[in-house]
Amino acid sequence: MEIKVVGPGCKNCKNLLHATEEAVKELGADAQIIYVTEMADIMATGIMRTPGLLINGKVKVMGRVPAVKEIKQMIEDER
């Protein structure tokens, strides 16, 4: 499973990265977390408002930081 956290490095982007890492850890999921910070790479994801979250190439979140519980559900839905 590939999970991308997308954002230029702002506080909310880092919060989403930490929440995603926590969700993966709690689930014991076999997932690679990639933090996308370069503007050209961010634009290529199709995310227009950061922070953003993609799981297996699908945009799951744009412009907000979901709770760990919600991220865990998103991961489960993609298994």
DSSP assignments along 26-69, one per residue: HHT---EEEEE--HHHHHHHT--SSSEEEETTEEEEESS---HH
Catalytic residue check, 13:
yes
Domain limits of the chain? 2-74
> Residue 71: which pLDDT band, with cuts at 50, 70 and 90?
very high
> Side chain identity at 23, as an amino acid letter?
A
Catalytic residue check, 10:
yes
Q: Catalytic residue, from 1, 2, 8, 10: name it.
A: 10
Q: Catalytic residue, from 5, 13, 47, 54: name it.
A: 13
C-alpha to C-alpha distance for 4 and 66, rounded to whole angstroms: 14
CATH fold, domain 2-74, is Glutaredoxin (3.40.30)
Picking from 50, 53, 48, 49, the residue whose alpha carbon sits closest to that of residue 68 is 53
Q: How many C-beta atoms lie closer than 10 Å to residue 65's C-beta? A: 20
pLDDT tens, residue by residue, 16-53: 999 999 999 999 999 999 999 999 999 999 999 999 99
